[in-house]
Each structure stands twice: as C-alpha cells, then as structure tokens.
Amino acid sequence: MDFATPLVLLSGCVGFGEEYTRVAGFSHHEVGAVCLKGTTLQPRLGNPAHRVFETPAGMLNAIGLQNPGARYVVDKILPTLDFSETRFIANLSGSTVEEYYQVARIFDNSPIDALEINISCPNVKQGGVQFGNDPEMSARVVEVCRKATNKPIITKLSPNQTDIAHNARRCIEAGTDGLAVINTLTGMAIDIEARTPVIGNNQGGLSGPAIKPIALLKTHQVYQMCKPYKVPIIGQGGITTANDAIEFLIAGASGVGIGTALFYNPLVCASINAGIVEYLQRHKLTNVSELIGSLQLHEASAAPCG
C-alpha cells in the first residue's frame, strides 16, 4: 500500500474516524492511514471506570475494547467513511483464535484497506496480551487470519515479552505483511488514600513520551530481524514531534503511528509532516524512504551497563 504521508493515526485514539475528522482544521492530506478502534466479534461494553489516567509523561488506559461488534462496523460504520481520503485499517481483537478468524472473515468482505491484528492488548482479561507474549500463539493467530483474508495483514507486537524480534519472525513466517511496533506497556497507578488501583481494571496500557525510548529500541531490533524479509514496520510509541518521527524512520520504521499526542493536540500531524519535509530538504534527501533504516550504530562496547 502507498500512504500519502508516513503518519498513521493509531487504533483507539480516533474512534472509527469520525471523532478526529470533524475537528476544525483537520486535513486528510496530513494522514497516510487511520487505524479504526479495536473490534471484536460480539459487541463489548468495556471495562469499569476509571479507564484513563494521566501519568508523568504519558497515560494509562484500560478501555477494554468497547466496540459495537464487527458486523455492525462493516454494515453501519464503513459506509460512512470516504475511502478516497485516506487508507482505513481495521483493528481486530479476540479472546480465542477462532474469534480472530471470524472477525477477519467479516472484514475481508468489506472495503477496508488492511487488517491490523491486535495480539498485544494489556487491558483485557482474556486474549490480548496472552497471545502477544507467546510467539507460537502469535503465529497461530496470524496464520488463521491469513487463511480468512487476502487483504494486507499488519500484526501489532507487544513490548511485554522477552524477545520481540523472535515473535516478529514467527509472525512473518505465518503470513503477516507488516508489523506495528509497539503496543502499550503494562502499567499501574495507585490511589494511596484508598490503597486501591486507580484503574478499574487494576492495570492498563501505558502510552505517551514515557515509552518512546523503549519503542525506538524495539523498532530497531525488529527492523534488523526484518531486513531480509523486506516487511515494513509502523513504528509507534510516544511520538509527539517531527524529531520523534524522524528517529523512528532512521531506526527502521517505514511509517510512524501517532496516538496519545492527539489527545492534547489533535492537529499535531501538520507540524510533524512539516518538520519531516524541512529535515529532508536540509539533508538534501528527496524521499522519506531514503531515511528508513539509515541508523549507523556505534561499535559495541565491552563495558558493563551503567
């Protein structure tokens, strides 16, 4: 798929498109793709409150995949989207392998441009992070979705695992066409007066600038493994400025995901794109692709950490 810009609006941050696109000053020309809200086979009400909590340099969320169900999304919501404006990517979730297959089949018979498999959601009690932290289970989910659709598949990888590059390789072998690196980290906040977790689900997914260094490293680790396979990566995690986005491109991402930043600056994409263009001009580069994976590593030191 060709994207008009490297920027992808991340799942869960823009609803099913309409919440963001109605903001005054929004332009689809700034966005390469929009990932729709995580969708399951049956409707879900999500988790009990509180579901969002601000943290230093980030936020915790535990929405719990609230959504109206895949059939409703395909029949009622997709017809309201203008597919000439940008790419729209469905985000699939499930608590069983069979559910992923059924949801993928429903979206296969729709105008959606691609499917993002969410195997790494840390804020639901079933499925989600359990799939994403087991490379063989991750591969199994990708495999059944591959059988259910001919559309491009992007697998969203969890950072809450021992070896993300190994998981990425297994997903590629199972048939994924692209990877999204990373999903949120698992986190908690505590109300010290009540001595209870602030989040109703007890734990949630941490996003925002606090996780950017981790996301950047994971993106580069997956890129190094992916190079022989030529599988593109959407790098994401704490991107709020053009410099952030450029770092991810240099680390090996083909596109960059914008999420938490949209909550406090819905028009951030325009400034990020402008900054990328200025950087390319300043370095006499003609295309973003010349940046991808251009990181020059230092020679490894034998000194211990610290």
Q: Which of 13, 35, 121, 145 is catalytic?
A: 121
Mean pLDDT for 152-165 is: 94
pLDDT band at 151 (very low <50, low <70, confident <90, very high): very high
**What is the average per-residue pLDDT within 4-23?**
89
CA-closest candidate to residue 209, choices 244, 247, 253? 244
Residue 149 makes CB contacts below 8 A (sequence gap 6+) with 104, 105, 107, 108, 115
Strands, E, within the chain: which ranges?
A: 7-9, 33-39, 52-55, 58-61, 87-92, 114-118, 153-157, 178-181, 185-187, 190-191, 196-197, 204-207, 233-236, 255-258
Looking at the DSSP bridge assignments, the partners of residue 8 are 33, 257
Assess whether pLDDT exceeds 60 at residue 128: no
| CATH superfamily name and code, 7-290 | Aldolase class I (3.20.20.70)
Q: Give residue-wise pLDDT tens across range 59-72.
A: 999 999 999 999 99
When the pLDDT of each residue in the chain is averaged and rounded to a whole number, the result is: 93
Taking the model in full, what pTM does it have?
A: 0.94
Tokens at residue 19, please? 């919440």
Contact 89, 36 (CB under 8 A): yes
Average pLDDT over residues 113-130: 70
pLDDT band for position 153 (cuts 50, 70, 90): very high
Q: What is the DSSP string of 23-81?
A: STT--GGG-SEEEEEEE-SS-B--PPSP-EEEETTEEEE-----B--HHHIIIIIGGGS
145 annotated active-site: no
Top pLDDT among 301 and 106 is at 106
- pLDDT tier at 122, thresholds 50, 70, 90: very low
Pairwise CA distance, residues 31 & 268, whole Å: 11
For 195-246, the pLDDT digits (tens) are 999 999 999 999 999 999 999 999 999 999 999 999 999 999 999 999 999 9
Q: What is the mean predicted confidence (pLDDT) over 75-101? A: 94
Confidence of residue 305 (pLDDT cuts 50, 70, 90): low
Q: What is the pLDDT of residues 192-207, one digit of tens each?
A: 999 999 999 999 999 9
Domain ranges of the chain: 7-290
**89: three-class secondary structure by DSSP:** strand
